Structure 1
């Protein structure tokens, strides 16, 4: 049996890149740079303004320092799911997106995602495809494999990545993406909607929420193990805002970490009234967590016997709509109990 503390994953959708990244040929770099100069107007307009005096570019803070981006980007490529989802939330249609697997795309984004060109599968980035889309802006999150690709991507178009570290709150990603694409006013409306949704569900279900204990788990990528998340994880943050108490397994995990434990240690979840876990977008358990659920020891736990297993496709929220999806899943589970 194993029990180890591991860093919180950047995204289970991109947990294990399996193919080598393509290299960018010199001809592609030359063509890409031409796109950048044309889109930003830097060759003829050093001030970044149009003939009418309106700014055509703006400087934004990114994980790689200040970057000059179009004031109103029109051809955006997103190389990370969290950026993609916020673009959709803001009413934008990217010309290229990541491909982390259709089963991991939350249902609300699936139609738009399917209709958009795919430019990367984890660390396998198709630079030529990105250049062919003639982006005027590339957005993403500075997870390790994208950080390594930053220079090649920025040779194609201005590239703006949100910072990423083990202590990043999930709200950092939509906030940064909205800033990059100049849609902070639209994001403010989503934030307000989210805050009101949290308040409404908390007030309506106050007794059930404050009296119940919750553990947060996901099928792991360590053979024979599952992951227990901390209270400061993305889902933990949402549960905390709803006023729940955490059961001992989740409450014992340090901030910014997950705990990888053997399936044989299902007993660690014994004092949880509810267990919330990651699902595919069709509702089926994701990342082999069903192996835990199938164990006799797990089936004997109070949460399992009471039917208090709460699955959500929004387990790794990177957008405000994702976060509201988590709230929806929690509310539905509480209503089922009351029913």
Structure 2
């Protein structure tokens, strides 16, 4: 007896249904790409100018904060005198800086090296608009203490606080070098500085018995620099001593009256103003004819040395330290650095 399901009509119907299903699956496969193809299309649709990921590293700044900074920063703002000095010593040029202390330009001793670098504002008062326009990938500052301003800067680029009160300039320099990825360059610079300081110390006759007074003249009168200031560390490196009053902890004294001029005396007196022109420079020019000033032993013995106050009596830096050694060598040994 023949099977009903095997009739020619039903076989033909089953074949037609199978063919239709096969065509349907093929169409679906053509319309929906697999995950790999979809991912590739998404990647190819990404903007050509999309920024690449920047490699970063974490460092600890002078305030104890952990800051993620670029491994190889390219556009760095130096919002402090020391920051600028250190960057230049490491062979890097900031894209912007703030003015020097008591000046409307970068520190005068860095005038040649800072040519072409844009001023972002006054000391500790950078213009936020100019900071943004500079498009920094890293900001260094050893002078700004305003937490609100630091927060604003941090929103623009990673911001590293580079110095702490009374910190040795070498430690500050090393911290900046770490932030910039220039550790080996910093070590090389410090080796040269230490060698020069040691050689000068050997050339001076009994330097521990020679007192060096360091004075900044302002419109209000003279102030002498104290133990914790940068230049005191340099003077100590060559073995020279300081007058007793200048060995106290601190940065500098209050301005002195003419009646207290004897407090700035020493075997040698190194004196200068933050700016070579202006009220402070005019005031000092007048006092040099004063009888009380002429009676100071350092002046009377011909040991008055005129210095760049922006180099000697501010926060300094590695270049300032090297330049100060040259000033001491020239004044006390009659040699050019």
Change (3 A) 1:157 1:317: same
Q: Secondary structure at the match of 1:176?
A: helix
Q: In structure 1, what is the equivalent of residue 194 of structure 2?
A: 195
- Residues 123 and 306 of structure 1, relative CA distance in 2, 3 Å threshold: same
Contact 1:230 1:256 in 2 (8 A): yes
Distance 1:172 1:98 in 2: 22
Task: Give 1:162-311 correspondences, 5 Å limit.
Answer: 162-165=162-165, 167-207=166-206, 209-220=207-218, 224-251=220-247, 254-260=248-254, 261-270=256-265, 272-279=266-273, 288-290=283-285, 292-311=287-306
Which residue is 2:157 aligned to? 157
Q: 1:243 offset after TM fit, Å? A: 1.2
Larger Rg: 2
Alpha-carbon separation, structure 2, partners of 1:186 and 1:329: 24
SS where residue 120 of structure 1 aligns? Answer: strand
**Which structure's residues are more often strand, by fraction?**
1
Please report how far the alpha carbon of residue 301 of structure 1 lies from its aligned counterpart in structure 2 after TM superposition. 1.2
Query: Structure 2 vs 1, CA of residues 317 and 323 (structure 1 numbering), >3 Å: closer, same or farther?
Result: farther
After TM superposition, the score normalised by the length of structure 1 is 0.74
- C-alpha distance in structure 1 between counterparts of 2:210 and 2:253, whole Å: 22
Structure 2 partner of 1:13 = none
Contact 2:173 2:318 in 1 (8 A): yes
Shift of 1:104: 6.0
Change (3 A) 1:218 1:40: farther
Cα 1:330–1:256 change in 2 (3 A) is same
> 2:95 corresponds to which residue?
95
Three-state SS of the structure 1 residue aligned to 2:113 is: helix
Cα 1:193–1:160 change in 2 (3 A) is same
Unmatched tracts of structure 1, length 5 or more: 1-37, 42-47, 49-55
What's the CA shift for 1:153? 0.5
Q: Is the 8 A contact 1:278 1:311 kept in 2?
A: yes
**Stretches of structure 2 lacking an aligned partner (at least 5 in a row):** 1-49
| Closer/same/farther in 2, CA of residues 184 and 95 from structure 1, 3 Å limit | same
- Distance of 2:239 and 2:80 partners within structure 1: 31
The Cα of 1:308 is off from its aligned counterpart by 1.0
Distance 1:204 1:283, change over 3 A: farther
Cα shift at 1:162: 1.2
CA-based RMSD of the aligned residues comes to 2.7
Whether the 8 Å CA contact 1:59–1:66 is kept in 2: the answer is yes
Residues 103, 155 of structure 1: alpha-carbon distance in 2 compared, 3 angstrom cutoff: closer
Give the CA deviation at 1:60. Answer: 0.9
User: Which residue of structure 2 aligns with residue 4 of structure 1?
Assistant: none
Q: Is the 8 A contact 2:224 2:246 kept in 1?
A: yes
Greater share of helix: 2
Correspondence for 2:59: 60
Report the number of matched residues: 278
Contact 2:227 2:250 in 1 (8 A): no
